[in-house]
Structure 1
Amino acid sequence: MIRSSLPLVALLAAATTASAGAVHGIHPEDINRSGDPCTDFFDYANGAWRQQNPIPSYMDRWSRRWQSGEVNKEHVRDILTELSARTDWPKGSAGQLAGDFYAACMDESRVDALGSQPVQPWLSDIAAIDDAAGLQRAIRTLHDVGVAVPFQVSAGEDLHDPSKTIAHVYAGGLGLPDRDYYLKPEARFVEARAKYLAHVATMFELAGVPAAQAKQNAQTVFAFEKRLAQASLDNVQLRDPKLQDHATAFADLSKLAPHFDWEAYFDAAKLPRDALNVTQPAFVQQVDRELATTPLPQWKAYLQWHVLNAAADSLSKPFVEENFAFNGRFLTGATEIKPRWKRCAEATDQQLGEALGQKYVEKYFPPEAKARMQEMVKNILLAMDDTINELDWMDPATKKKALEKRATFFPKLGYPDKFKTYDGVVVSRDSAWDNVVAASRWNVADNRSQIGKPTDRSRWGMTPPTSNAYYNPLQNEIVFPAGILQPPAFDVNATDAVNYGAIGVVIGHEISHGFDDQGAQFDAQGRLANWWTPADNRKFQARGECVVKQFEGYFIEPGVHHNGKLVLGESIGDLAGAKIAYRAYLKSREGKGPEPTLDGFTPQQQFFIAWGQWRGDETRMETQRTMVQGDPHPIAKFRVNGPLSNLPAFREAFQCKADAPMVRPEADRCEVW
């Protein structure tokens, strides 16, 4: 991480001074005073805010958290507006790349005037394919710019030696959210398939294909993708790293897919022939069957569709609106497309995020914020140590291994030590799509450049302005970009109760991912290796089953409930995250005395209200249906009520009776960590 010239002690003093100015706590005006915290804490914590702040037409969910994310985009817009106002940036500089990329995207009149012209050469090249070799050249060309059809080769750590980065072959090439949309018989999936067929046909028509041929192409695309879906792992299976652990020698790739020229592919991509991992061998075998038996015209329709799908948001208004009609209005329930400046800000961050990020952290992540975050992370990691030490169900041998793993956690806060330079990327103000292609080509090449090398732990998987966080089990790292370290998640001027209740639970959540049903399969060195005694592993699995059962009982509408196995990891993260963040909060106040009661709420109550207000999203039903089907994260209501109903500390804070809805009976109470 970039070091400040100030020593840490001085930075902590600066954070304390900043906090001593205008300290604030929870938002009492957001609370539903007619509600009961012991009945439905999600409704209580910020029900008034949700009632007064309906979901904007262009969003699929809304809360102070999501509002903050949109304000964050305003900050990004301001930076990009300033950068794009100048045309004298040195060519290839961060200012020129981000500024010109944004300017070209914002030039709506030019984008509309070009229509489908920017993408027509790609469609024409695919139409000209006349043999198997030409088909494989087209696949390689699409992979070069990040269009992963029908598979993808990407860099990643070796599952058994994470100090090395190898090539992983992943399944890809589906246009619907996941395999079940192609296969399940329920009415909502039947409707999705019909909408998708109409959407694909319309996109082909917009690109100039006659209506009858466009409809035929849509049928071809769907049938092709359905066959791929049938050969894919489902969402629950994809959560099991062991099912995707298939070390493969390069010479053996041809045995899986003899009709694909892997030599030519690796030559063109400049990839070494070292050991690699095939995540889904059955999928690769299905691709081989398609190469052997599917006629070229069907392959061409499939590839052309994925070009159109990838390019849609960079083309003229009819493409953008049709893409939104399916992926926005139908799948998420949003009724209006986002303003163009937001879409362009998001696209710039996605493609050139570390060029943009340099400017972002200068303005929005001061040293005192980083210092206070470092202190919180340290305290929450120590709280995890205490929790492990006190477990009564884990024997000393496993406990020792768990503590060894915790000791190797590697936090990343704010931004990378070294920003990417994007050397060689050519961005102009002429064509938004051409800029996307240029940036994507560089990002793919940058990813490929890591294959065959020692793993570079300085690299980040999210850009600095991103309002999110992640845990990577192979590097045992917890990562918090500057974009999430903003109010209401984190504020140097907030009380400890609020910071620990909001970003603190997020920190605890990411730490807990190292010990959820997935993370627990990786050891202190990030290797996919068992470190459990058989007896302790059985106890751990049983504790996870308690969480599975709890979330299976959460319905979004009659007949549609959460898949407990799908959301198990995130739910363990929320449960343990709230527990250890609360413990760290109490520990942080030792020697300082308790914080004051504010607006009638004790510090302990403020902690839990902060979590409810941070996580309290109102979510459109269409989005809930999509989430329940394929998102490992539960609906916000259950991310608030689910973990807290298991915590004695919550019950004590609000003096809930033993039979209150927010207090799970002791026999049903879940505790993993």
Structure 2
Amino acid sequence: MTDRLIPALLLSTTVLAGLTACGDNSQDNTAKTSDTAPKTEAVVAQMPIGINVAAMTATVKPGDDFYAYANGEWMKTTEIPADRSSTGAFLVAFQETEKHKTSLIAELVKAEHATGSDAARIANFYKAYTDTAAIDAAGMKPAEADLARYETIASKQDLSAVLGQNLRADVDPLNATDFYTENLFGIFVTQGLATPGEVLPYFLQGGLGLPEREYYLSADPKMVEIRTAYRAYIEALLKDAGISDAATRADRIFALEHKIASAHASRADSEDFTKAAAVWSRADFDAKAPGIDWTAFLGAAQLSEQPKFAAYHGAAMTGLSALVASEPLDAWKDWLVFHHINSHADVLPSTIDNTAFAFNGTKLSGTPEQRSRDKRALAALDEYLGDAVGQAYAEQYFPASAKAEVSTMVDNIVLAFGKRVAALDWMDPATKKEALAKVNTMAVGVGYPEKWRNYDAYTVSPTNAYANAINGEKVEYAHQLAKIGKPMDKGEWWMTPQVVNAVNLPVQNALNFPAGILQPPFFDAKADAAYNYGAIGAVIGHEISHSFDNNGAAFDSTGAMRNWWTPADFAQFAKQGEALAKQFDAYAPFPDLHVNGKLTLGENIADVAGLAAAYDAYHASLQGKEAPVIGGFTGDQRFFIGFAQTWATKMRDEALRARVATDGHAPGMYRALTVRNLDAWYTAFDVQPGDKLYLAPEDRVKIW
């Protein structure tokens, strides 16, 4: 399992590719007053309030528990769907998107299409994926040739070549599950940290079936329990696949993975750019990571002519390569067989698929039921034909009026953020100039890319789901390799339009806001500005702010990793970050488990700064007029409640523990408490000393 490097290179809104030439907002950051003028009182009276009053518990004092005040009734009455590990605002938007996709795909499946068209690919993929009778009847036969490759490995050179053949590009690093676990390494293709303007393949540590190294190394009883269950799962999956001597093989696989985990960089080191900017030449692989036959590996990976690489996990590469030399071939062969089956369980017989879900879905995340096959087919389509589905989705479900309105909000929040930077009294003029250059050259994509991915190289069978998965992986790998050595495309999208998420791309100094998140409960074109600025506005501000969090601030306006801070400026920035980390360290969803303020710091900084910028932009949109009172709530109250309700979150205990232990995003119920750091929240809800959430003015974190 490829380690979660990319939340550093792709800074996401939540823990939930195409090509584009996005509009560059640097030419006009002026608020469009014709689109943002306050509505008349008559119009306001007819507008939805935006916030969900029925979700609130008005008897709770906002200053004591603002999350319960905004979401208390929702928490009491909402049930987590049986096929989910959590629920919340993101799931609401996802389910609406899923309904649209269901209708869209149903029409495509029924219609006739020209051979080789994207519509035909979508229909064929869906038919094959949902035909479980055919998948079960085929048994393991579709995978026989791939598994046979592993059995014929007779030397370390053979092993190195197979590992190279299996190399795949990590193209969806924000997904809940990582890409391809059947290799020691993954690659990610974008501008190198130390090579501005030059696109390189990043080498990433991989090879684990559990989410990350701490699952193997931690003495925590919950982790020990999961490890025991994982060892049993390995054996069960091998038995389901008809692999002989499953118990002995499972022991070898588990022991090898423990050694792989020990060689991995820690999460803290993995997210430290200063430790990740190394560029390796071809000769460096032999000198710094002996053990693998790199000529065989890189040749099989179609990278033999590549002169240099971004060694993001250089130290781990050294340790992992040494394991290739030291560990028995039989252990590696068993490991390859297991991970190939594990990675493709959804397109193998139902017994395998169900066993995989029992561990990966239920044991790891607490989800009682597998999602229905038709809904899983939609998710698989997003993975393998995401742009093709996204183009059809955007054309049908994302009107130009919504794109225009959100684009205006983006412009206004970028402008507000720039004003906040310009007004900083602690920042040196030289540092401030660099920061403003970064703000003014941000490329922002709203809704969907300007150019769409070409899938002509992808052959999709209407009867062989396994072959479609394998072919899709290879086509995606070739697509990513084709970018190497070319100028960086600043407008490249790393999300499809139907995704309910948003992303900051620091190496591109760019933002993507897919159509999927530009709908209720994040954005409602019929609601008043207070709600929309508190909801989607805070998301927009969050993504802008990621360019200036503890990770994004390491990049300049060109996307190059460069220190553009004076020591005094960075010390002030770090001081505020430390205070915010301590705030989040105090949140404890379980008596034995606290939120990790350092791990979640980047997201928390973006929340604070983004909410503040969205608040400023909201007030600017009023053009000096007083916000109307709607439903008994002032504009500021609706703004802050709207923000808190977008973080309504209910999680199963297993999923919540996994989130806190491994994820850079704090659980939503704590992100909602970001409001504690804004002075305006105290005024809006009359929060006073003695209230549980009260922070003295000097303790409120103000970043940007």
TM-score (norm 1): 0.95
Match of 1:304 among 327, 334, 337: 337
Alpha-carbon separation, structure 1, partners of 2:240 and 2:77: 40
What CA deviation, in whole Å up to 9, does each residue of 1:496-542 have, x standing for no partner?
A: 11111111000111111111111111112111110110111111111
Match of 1:38 in 2: 63
Match of 2:617 in 1: 584
Alpha-carbon separation, structure 2, partners of 1:53 and 1:288: 49
Match of 2:438 in 1: 405
C-alpha displacement at 1:203, in angstroms?
0.5
Match of 1:104 among 112, 128, 131: 128
Larger RCO of the pair (alpha carbons < 8 Å, separation 6+):
2
C-alpha displacement at 1:47, in angstroms?
1.6
Alpha-carbon separation, structure 1, partners of 2:553 and 2:37: 38
Match of 2:701 among 666, 670, 673: 670
* Local SS of the residue matching 1:143: coil
Alpha-carbon separation, structure 1, partners of 2:37 and 2:307: 50
What CA deviation, in whole Å up to 9, does each residue of 1:260-305 have, x standing for no partner?
A: 3333444444434232211122221222222212111111011111
TM-score (norm 2): 0.91
Alignment of 1:478-517 (within 5 A): 478-517=511-550
* Cα pair distance change 1:64/1:283, threshold 3 Å: closer
* Cα pair distance change 1:59/1:11, threshold 3 Å: farther
Alpha-carbon separation, structure 1, partners of 2:580 and 2:70: 23
Alignment of 1:442-521 (within 5 A): 442-521=475-554
Structure 1 counterpart of 2:614, one-letter code: A
Q: Does 1:221 align with 2:245?
A: no
What CA deviation, in whole Å up to 9, does each residue of 1:440-488 have, x standing for no partner?
A: 1111110011111111223211111110011111111111111111111
What CA deviation, in whole Å up to 9, does each residue of 1:597-634 have, x standing for no partner?
A: 12211111001111111111112111111011110000
C-alpha displacement at 1:3, in angstroms?
10
Q: Is the 8 A contact 1:508 1:580 kept in 2?
A: yes
Match of 2:87 in 1: 62
C-alpha displacement at 1:12, in angstroms?
5.0
Q: Does 1:201 align with 2:235?
A: yes
Match of 1:661 in 2: 692
* Local SS of the residue matching 2:267: coil
Match of 1:130 in 2: 154
Q: Is the 8 A contact 2:345 2:352 kept in 1?
A: yes
Structure 1 counterpart of 2:613, one-letter code: I
Name stretches of at least 5 consecutive residues in structure 2 with no aligned partner: 1-19, 24-30, 170-178
Alpha-carbon separation, structure 2, partners of 1:486 and 1:536: 38
Match of 2:325 in 1: 292
Match of 2:76 among 47, 51, 57: 51
What CA deviation, in whole Å up to 9, does each residue of 1:9-44 have, x standing for no partner?
A: 999599999x98963121111111222221111111
Match of 1:635 among 642, 646, 667: 667
Q: Is the 8 A contact 1:15 1:372 kept in 2?
A: no
Alpha-carbon separation, structure 2, partners of 1:453 and 1:183: 40
Match of 1:141 in 2: 165
Match of 1:115 in 2: 139
* Local SS of the residue matching 2:162: helix
Q: Is the 8 A contact 1:201 1:218 kept in 2?
A: yes
Match of 2:354 in 1: 321
* Cα pair distance change 1:15/1:444, threshold 3 Å: farther
Alpha-carbon separation, structure 1, partners of 2:22 and 2:487: 24
C-alpha displacement at 1:117, in angstroms?
2.7
Structure 1 counterpart of 2:656, one-letter code: Q
Alpha-carbon separation, structure 2, partners of 1:31 and 1:217: 53
Alignment of 1:555-574 (within 5 A): 555-574=588-607
C-alpha displacement at 1:545, in angstroms?
0.5
Q: Does 1:650 align with 2:681?
A: yes
Match of 2:198 among 164, 180, 192: 164
Alpha-carbon separation, structure 2, partners of 1:648 and 1:489: 23
Q: Is the 8 A contact 2:270 2:313 kept in 1?
A: no
Alpha-carbon separation, structure 2, partners of 1:198 and 1:338: 23
Structure 1 counterpart of 2:131, one-letter code: D
Q: Does 1:427 align with 2:460?
A: yes
* Local SS of the residue matching 1:560: coil
C-alpha displacement at 1:494, in angstroms?
1.7
C-alpha displacement at 1:2, in angstroms?
8.6
Match of 1:341 among 368, 374, 379: 374
The number of equivalent residue pairs is 664
C-alpha displacement at 1:136, in angstroms?
2.3
Match of 2:572 in 1: 539
Q: Does 1:596 align with 2:628?
A: yes
* Cα pair distance change 1:337/1:658, threshold 3 Å: same
C-alpha displacement at 1:144, in angstroms?
5.2
Alpha-carbon separation, structure 1, partners of 2:319 and 2:265: 13
- Identity score, percent: 36
C-alpha displacement at 1:666, in angstroms?
3.2
Q: Is the 8 A contact 1:236 1:566 kept in 2?
A: yes
Q: Is the 8 A contact 1:425 1:438 kept in 2?
A: yes
C-alpha displacement at 1:344, in angstroms?
0.8
Match of 1:351 among 361, 370, 384: 384
Structure 2 counterpart of 1:536, one-letter code: D
* Cα pair distance change 1:447/1:314, threshold 3 Å: same
Match of 1:74 in 2: 99
Q: Is the 8 A contact 1:467 1:481 kept in 2?
A: yes
Structure 1 counterpart of 2:120, one-letter code: Q
Name stretches of at least 5 consecutive residues in structure 1 with no aligned partner: none
Structure 2 counterpart of 1:38, one-letter code: G
* Cα pair distance change 1:226/1:35, threshold 3 Å: same
Structure 1 counterpart of 2:159, one-letter code: L
* Cα pair distance change 1:448/1:139, threshold 3 Å: same
* Local SS of the residue matching 1:549: helix
Structure 2 counterpart of 1:219, one-letter code: D
Q: Is the 8 A contact 1:401 1:531 kept in 2?
A: yes
* Local SS of the residue matching 1:162: strand
Structure 2 counterpart of 1:178, one-letter code: E
Q: Which moved more, 1:388-397 or 1:481-490?
A: 388-397
What CA deviation, in whole Å up to 9, does each residue of 1:383-408 have, x standing for no partner?
A: 11111122222222222221111112
What CA deviation, in whole Å up to 9, does each residue of 1:74-107 have, x standing for no partner?
A: 2112111111122x31222110111111121111
Structure 1 counterpart of 2:236, one-letter code: T
Alpha-carbon separation, structure 2, partners of 1:166 and 1:441: 19
* Local SS of the residue matching 2:166: helix
Match of 1:180 in 2: 214
Alignment of 1:354-433 (within 5 A): 354-433=387-466
